[in-house]
Structure 1
């Protein structure tokens, strides 16, 4: 490398400037030229300096990389390059020939040079060759010419770099662009070692971190890959990318990358959400992160749930970004901005709004008529909630976590909704808190829908509609658990409306795979069937007996005649009938799959099997219950609901408490009652070996 070209790589301070900015590198609809120009304005305002042009589905970038740009396309690119320069943003033009290039064919290399020469004529001075997301098997011609895939890529990249006269900025994206792709690991990867040793030193290398979408990027991991690549990498950060899942959007702050990384990197480029306008937070917080070491700062004492960076607080950066974003939402001078009604324009501007014929005679509702709809203004709290609901790939925001935790608790403790007064009051209080959080989501949706800047709203709309619907279903379910609503219309119907469930074909495939839900905050068995709970009637006796016998035969248990008898065996076998209204059965699409039966007075049943039990047990717990559910019912919710309804009936009869007897061999029902929470083991004299008694007060 010449001394002159080495010198031109350095700033006036003697060091190369830190690359910081945005890569448009996602799969899907590319951004428009107008959006990219808007991006340059924001980058200049926030102190970022780079834009990497690499939209995967721009067909002349990747699929048809050999094709030259038409005069119309050339005019657009020339304008884009000019706009970037105008805002002091370095536009790096990237090309991805790896899908079908024959590295050993001189004509292919000539086509690549010709394409980049054309872009150079447009005024571009920075370039990038990308070999990500391609097959690693070389064609026979390349296998004859090169000893490895890495050697083929490096040879072509070095040749193109020299042909372009060693540009000041030239980036190379390896096929193994994260630690997870390296075989067997980063330090022993022959591919990375070849790249590090053979790629010319003026070429910078892109790297996504430990994974394609990295949760955290540590200083140690960057030092490791830098030693192999023999240069500091440029991070291509996918933390805010959402092109892999159409249901996700990421509005959380740039985080889990310590600012100690900055002096050990050549730069950081974020590859954010496909939708342009929601990327405000991702890019704004990255800019705050990049400036943090230079600005300095004290340790954030408010951050107690993560390792603290003395220079950068993700939460403070998020609040700063959301405050600025709020102003964007309220802006009406954006293309596509809403045509505001006169009363809203008066609030937003001191100028008198344009008058129309209708404005001269505005509609005034009469007595008893609906008042005019008035849009409430969007607030910073609304945007904080929005960010919490669509936070980051590996975590939900604090409010979203709280909502999930409350829903999980309300489901797990649904028996408390019909238990003792104190328990019921506590459950109802938390149910009301959950309802309030759901209402905040609905109100946030309404205010977002009324925001003047429609461009941002349209990018967000599918996501906020989806979360509003999901929250609405959860809200209705909790009301049902509390006895305030009927679930059949939305949750327990065997023919629900399509908006009552999620996923389509992709969702069905995932639910059939073993890993589905393993990244969820709560990992419960998925409900794959619709269950119907109804009162027990005399014609159910045969089916109850069949389930009872099936459960006794299951798991190789000792035959019933050789097991110690239980007080409730007579209920299950049909020899005794449950007390009035003290029976429930659960059915799925196959048929009856479980039951819960009770006697408000258990003494006659004990006498039938000649069981001598202390009077104190019947004094405290006069009633007895039996629950059985077939193993095909993986979801514990139906059994919990039956027990809750049964206990409510027994309490209404005046009973003080309920007990159940369980054979210790029946591990499934032992586990069920143990996790139920209300039933506790009690010591009772006269109970045979192998039998456990559990009871609860009413």
Structure 2
């Protein structure tokens, strides 16, 4: 295998390294692509794959030939790539509606690629990603499988083009998560490996569409099936799936031991062109590193860690270079100038001499120059899909601590001093974000700023809300520390309709990178069946045996809740749920929509007024191993919804005072309030809520 980014020895392919423009959304401009070629040449990358999903003649209208104007643009682009020693690979994506068995369709595909070949392009790619896998009836008669259909057309096109040196194929099952049942047993991948001509390369995204880590073992496995080393189409910096996220962390979690195992790596980065500086720069640094770390073509500047690839050192190199671009004006006919604070003169609007404010007047506003620390903070705030940067994690941890210990803010104890110290530290970090925003907003290079502005404005606003909340907890007031109220300004809540939907879903937040409370188990809630009666009874008895719920003396009247959990009374249809984790059943929530007949059955005297206001009964219990209260909250929420649909106007529960955990649970729900029920023993608490 050749050195990454270098020329291949005779008869052997070179390692493909570079950028794929393969995201959904507005494609890059011709000027931006030309600028990309300059960067690739400077940093040692060698390939650009043209595959913008929303270029309609690349995908949706793939049969249509390019107009004379479009042809002129592509010819200029291919020429620019060649001038900068970048291999231009033209990709076409016909899989949305091609009929593989129709010779006219295959001829249309060949005709389109012949046109692009006339533009000077010599490298091509056929993409069959993100399409339906069901074949039309005509294709089902002609091919034994979807893979056979794709391979037959790909081989025919490859040979028609004269067996080009670079020809890439993107399978429909392009990651391990899509393979049925798995990579090694995938009939689709085995067909591709066996039938696809050997000099056609296969694109692969790793374990997932957006892979957190790509291991050597996983690549060896897929290479065995495909009978060739794959080329990684890396979505680690892609952001087209979330309009609120952008990624400026380093290329990482891909060991350099992968390099000799791969045919190449292409990054499919952020939709916004200019913020991709870090993604592409750090990929280039990674490609220059050797697998064993014994030699490297890049100086990382940290001998204590050795000369191999280090994501943090690569990030520092990228941010150092990027800072120079921020400080260079991009205005037509402009020139590099120092920030406003370094300029000695500032003419006023009337022309002539500089304006100098008086002693009692406002001083002139001067913008601080952007610093490397500002860009480090920017990268930390917008890091990677699976990881916040160090500063962002610290801010989340500090805010979490301040919320948990908010009682200490006014306790006037040693804890108060610790709380206020941490609050000051958090405020300082928030202020750093604000100052970073101000300096970015005044950087001379406006093109970079405009690509970033929506993101940095959003994070500044979010940090501002958190900062105001902490100030309010600390007893500070004023316009800068207004807590959220029942009638907030539009900038005080996030997400629009998408945010509304997410907040209504019970699982919202359980996949956040910063989890509170930390989730170490996966819980599922399902409907109760009569087969669950023994397990529910076991949980009830187990809670009694560990002292959570004391068994009532025989002289006391039985509780309706106990009779329901013990199976003496059956729950109402559709009003019973059980909670399960990876060990088994760990909780239950049972209800009676009409509790009065049950009270009569066990001869419990309950006043008529109670059943008027709270005709329904509920009981909830979870085992101590369930440390996360959210599953129980979801259970009671679903149960109350079912009871409400039955027409009930209220629900009550009975609890023993010794069961402090469940007493706290109902209290923290906020809706259940203590209620008086005549005849209850002194150690019994009744709580009710209106529906």
Q: How does 1:291-310 map to 2 (within 5 A)?
A: 291-293=288-290, 296=294
Secondary structure of the 2:290 match is helix
Residue 21 of structure 2 corresponds to residue 24 of structure 1: yes
Residue 433 of structure 2 corresponds to residue 441 of structure 1: yes
Bigger mean CA deviation after superposition, 229-238 or 661-670: 661-670
Tell me how far apart the structure 1 counterparts of residues 383 and 90 of structure 2 sit (CA, whole Å): 30
Q: 1:670 to 1:220 in 2, by over 3 A?
A: same
Bigger mean CA deviation after superposition, 56-65 or 294-303: 294-303
Residue 662 of structure 2 corresponds to residue 665 of structure 1: no
Residue 497 of structure 2 corresponds to residue 505 of structure 1: yes
Distance apart, 1:632 and its partner CA? 7.7
Q: 1:337 to 1:87 in 2, by over 3 A?
A: same
Q: How does 1:62-141 map to 2 (within 5 A)?
A: 62-141=59-138
Q: Is the 8 A contact 1:104 1:145 kept in 2?
A: yes
Q: 1:337 to 1:477 in 2, by over 3 A?
A: farther
What does residue 167 of structure 1 align with? 164
Distance apart, 1:360 and its partner CA? 2.8
What does residue 626 of structure 1 align with? none
Q: Is the 8 A contact 2:250 2:312 kept in 1?
A: yes
- Which of the numbers 412, 415, 422 marks the counterpart of 2:407? 415
TM-score, normalised relative to structure 2? 0.73
Residue-by-residue CA offset, 1:432-469 (whole Å, 9 max, x unaligned)? 00000000000000000000000000000000000000
Q: 1:634 to 1:182 in 2, by over 3 A?
A: closer
Tell me how far apart the structure 1 counterparts of residues 506 and 488 of structure 2 sit (CA, whole Å): 25
Tell me how far apart the structure 2 counterparts of residues 405 and 204 of structure 1 sit (CA, whole Å): 45
Q: Is the 8 A contact 1:22 1:269 kept in 2?
A: yes
What does residue 541 of structure 2 align with? none
What does residue 232 of structure 2 align with? 235
Q: Is the 8 A contact 2:357 2:363 kept in 1?
A: yes
Distance apart, 1:311 and its partner CA? 1.8
Q: Is the 8 A contact 1:490 1:496 kept in 2?
A: no
Residue-by-residue CA offset, 1:325-348 (whole Å, 9 max, x unaligned)? 00000011465979969956858x
Q: Is the 8 A contact 1:336 1:455 kept in 2?
A: no
Q: 1:125 to 1:309 in 2, by over 3 A?
A: farther
Tell me how far apart the structure 1 counterparts of residues 38 and 226 of structure 2 sit (CA, whole Å): 34
Q: Is the 8 A contact 1:477 1:487 kept in 2?
A: no
Tell me how far apart the structure 1 counterparts of residues 486 and 666 of structure 2 sit (CA, whole Å): 26
Secondary structure of the 1:20 match is strand
What does residue 322 of structure 2 align with? 325
Q: Is the 8 A contact 1:490 1:497 kept in 2?
A: no
Distance apart, 1:515 and its partner CA? 2.9
- Which of the numbers 143, 146, 150 marks the counterpart of 1:149? 146
Residue 5 of structure 2 corresponds to residue 11 of structure 1: no
Secondary structure of the 2:71 match is helix
Residue-by-residue CA offset, 1:176-212 (whole Å, 9 max, x unaligned)? 0000000000000000000010000010000000000
- Which of the numbers 210, 214, 223 marks the counterpart of 1:217? 214
Q: Is the 8 A contact 1:30 1:58 kept in 2?
A: yes
Q: Is the 8 A contact 1:480 1:486 kept in 2?
A: no
Distance apart, 1:359 and its partner CA? 5.1
Q: 1:301 to 1:420 in 2, by over 3 A?
A: farther
Q: 1:319 to 1:279 in 2, by over 3 A?
A: same
Q: How many residues align?
A: 542
Distance apart, 1:664 and its partner CA? 1.8
Q: Is the 8 A contact 1:259 1:309 kept in 2?
A: no
Residue 278 of structure 2 corresponds to residue 286 of structure 1: no
Q: 1:161 to 1:364 in 2, by over 3 A?
A: same
Q: Is the 8 A contact 1:338 1:453 kept in 2?
A: no
Tell me how far apart the structure 1 counterparts of residues 255 and 450 of structure 2 sit (CA, whole Å): 34
Q: Is the 8 A contact 1:388 1:397 kept in 2?
A: yes
Q: How does 1:225-624 map to 2 (within 5 A)?
A: 225-293=222-290, 296=294, 311-333=308-330, 335=332, 360-485=352-477, 491-524=483-516
Q: How does 1:43-54 map to 2 (within 5 A)?
A: 43-54=40-51
Q: Is the 8 A contact 2:300 2:314 kept in 1?
A: no
Q: 1:479 to 1:338 in 2, by over 3 A?
A: farther
Secondary structure of the 1:405 match is helix
Q: Is the 8 A contact 2:341 2:368 kept in 1?
A: no
Q: 1:401 to 1:354 in 2, by over 3 A?
A: closer
Tell me how far apart the structure 2 counterparts of residues 53 and 131 of structure 1 sit (CA, whole Å): 15
Q: Is the 8 A contact 1:213 1:237 kept in 2?
A: yes
Tell me how far apart the structure 1 counterparts of residues 513 and 633 of structure 2 sit (CA, whole Å): 25
Tell me how far apart the structure 2 counterparts of residues 169 and 510 of structure 1 sit (CA, whole Å): 44
Distance apart, 1:94 and its partner CA? 0.2
Q: Is the 8 A contact 1:177 1:207 kept in 2?
A: yes
Residue-by-residue CA offset, 1:122-143 (whole Å, 9 max, x unaligned)? 0000000000000000011111
TM-score, normalised relative to structure 1? 0.72
Q: Is the 8 A contact 2:301 2:313 kept in 1?
A: no
Tell me how far apart the structure 1 counterparts of residues 479 and 495 of structure 2 sit (CA, whole Å): 21
Aligned-residue CA RMSD in angstroms? 3.6
Q: Is the 8 A contact 1:557 1:665 kept in 2?
A: no
Q: 1:480 to 1:210 in 2, by over 3 A?
A: same
Q: 1:487 to 1:362 in 2, by over 3 A?
A: closer
Tell me how far apart the structure 2 counterparts of residues 397 and 666 of structure 1 sit (CA, whole Å): 40
Q: Is the 8 A contact 2:251 2:311 kept in 1?
A: yes
Tell me how far apart the structure 1 counterparts of residues 660 and 347 of structure 2 sit (CA, whole Å): 79
Q: 1:337 to 1:473 in 2, by over 3 A?
A: farther
Secondary structure of the 2:23 match is coil
Distance apart, 1:509 and its partner CA? 1.8
Tell me how far apart the structure 2 counterparts of residues 666 and 136 of structure 1 sit (CA, whole Å): 55
What does residue 155 of structure 2 align with? 158
Secondary structure of the 1:92 match is strand
Tell me how far apart the structure 2 counterparts of residues 509 and 406 of structure 1 sit (CA, whole Å): 28
Secondary structure of the 1:135 match is coil
